[in-house]
């Protein structure tokens, strides 16, 4: 009967897109903002 796709940890009712915080095919959670590499201005890369 297939898989219950509503139980894969994806918020299918979300209005915004899922892929920006998609943690990958085998992760059961979405990424937090501090885990998402982002094109910040080079000056912010303090270290």
| Chain residues that interact with another protein, rule: CB under 8 A | 1-6, 8, 10, 12, 14, 17-27, 29-47
Q: Write b or e for each residue in 14-30: b if 16 or more Cβ atoms lie within 10 A of its Cβ, otherwise e.
A: eeeeeeebeeeeeeeeb
CB of 21 to another protein, least distance (A): 7
CB of 24 to another protein, least distance (A): 5
CB of 6 to another protein, least distance (A): 7
Half-sphere exposure of 10 (CA within 13 A, CB side): 17
């Amino acid at each position: 009967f297939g898989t219950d796709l509503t139980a894969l940890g994806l918020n299918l009712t979300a209005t915004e897109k899922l892929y920006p915080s998609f943690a990958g095919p085998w992760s059961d959670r979405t990424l937090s903002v501090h885990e998402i590499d982002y094109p910040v201005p080079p000056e912010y890369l303090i270290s």
